[in-house]
Structure 1
């Protein structure tokens, strides 16, 4: 996604000493198109939150307008001590569906991942969204000489490869897919 990017100023302070501070970052799932409302309400409750947004030009029939959209539609991030009462206050916030994790319990996000998002957006470097892929996942190559080829994503010596298998004879071929667009199936 190219274009201007901006992070909401919602009490964002990523630097934190984990040993002295029991608070951690968590992702919360929001109702559709409620991300900004959730961020404003959390801010008014004094709960530290982070809603990364991008600015895009929207073309309407009569005009063009810059609009701010959440970078991750349907999600916002909160920093809190999971054992504190803040967890309940977050869940009671209008527009919050639940914490992202096992049975809505919430799994902490490493500070470095939030810092990486913050750094990327602050730098104004051009970037593109990509599907989240992991080794062992079934994928399809889109474009190029291998367009339409499906297989399992594998990693060999930090190179990503596509393993194409013939199940009946239990034989496989591996092809390096660096430089190809790959999407999950």
Structure 2
């Protein structure tokens, strides 16, 4: 997916939205109905009740979703139901790099189990050379036979991690 042009020919970037608590799905659906491209990374979890087990999808980054729009739509996005703010610096919305959004998209659509990782700390950058995540870049957060790869959204200071064979990654 490339950065796109909006209807007015304006450059569209990805932005992170902070949503009301537990309103990520509602907010995403609302914005999609308004014609915006929205990305809400979800992960499957099994919830156990007394009589059954149920697969439930939870947001990978609780309280956040991503929207692709041009700067002229920020005011409209901020006024949307469930949106608390468009993340940025000094009150100005800050785009999320396309590579970071695509890396998270690849993680959540892969067959590997993904776990949220609360903080993104500096580490050793690596690239996956084999398997379903070939070409993906991230940060190595655990060494050993089963390494742990972290892919993150720097603006949120959050990421997602996945177990991967240490032989499948090389330093960048």
TM-score (norm 2): 0.64
Please tell me the root mean square deviation across aligned C-alpha atoms, in Å.
2.6
Q: How many residues are aligned here?
A: 127
Tell me by how many angstroms 1:128 deviates: 3.2
Tell me by how many angstroms 1:29 deviates: 0.1
Which secondary structure does the structure 2 equivalent of 1:128 belong to?
Answer: strand
Structure 2: distance between partners of 1:44 and 1:17: 19
Tell me by how many angstroms 1:61 deviates: 2.9
Deviating above 4 A after TM superposition, structure 1's stretches of 4 or more consecutive aligned residues are none
Between Structure 1 and Structure 2, the one with more strand by share is 2
Per-residue CA distance 1:62-109 (angstroms, 9 max, x = gap): 322111111110000001111x1x212211111100011224422111
1:88 corresponds to which residue?
Answer: 75
Per-residue CA distance 1:35-71 (angstroms, 9 max, x = gap): 0000100001001110111121111233221111111
Unaligned segments of structure 1, at least 5 residues: 1-13, 136-154, 160-176
Question: Cα–Cα, structure 1 residues 64 and 32, in superposed 2: closer, same or farther, change >3 Å?
Answer: same
**Is the 8 Å Cα contact of residues 14 and 95 (structure 2) preserved in structure 1?**
yes
**Is the 8 Å Cα contact of residues 28 and 40 (structure 2) preserved in structure 1?**
yes
Specify the structure having the higher radius of gyration (Cα). Answer: 1
Tell me by how many angstroms 1:17 deviates: 5.6
Unaligned segments of structure 2, at least 5 residues: 126-140, 149-172
2:121 corresponds to which residue?
Answer: 134
1:31 corresponds to which residue?
Answer: 20
TM-score (norm 1): 0.60
2:109 corresponds to which residue?
Answer: 122
Alignment of 1:36-115 (within 5 A): 36-82=25-71, 84=72, 86-115=73-102
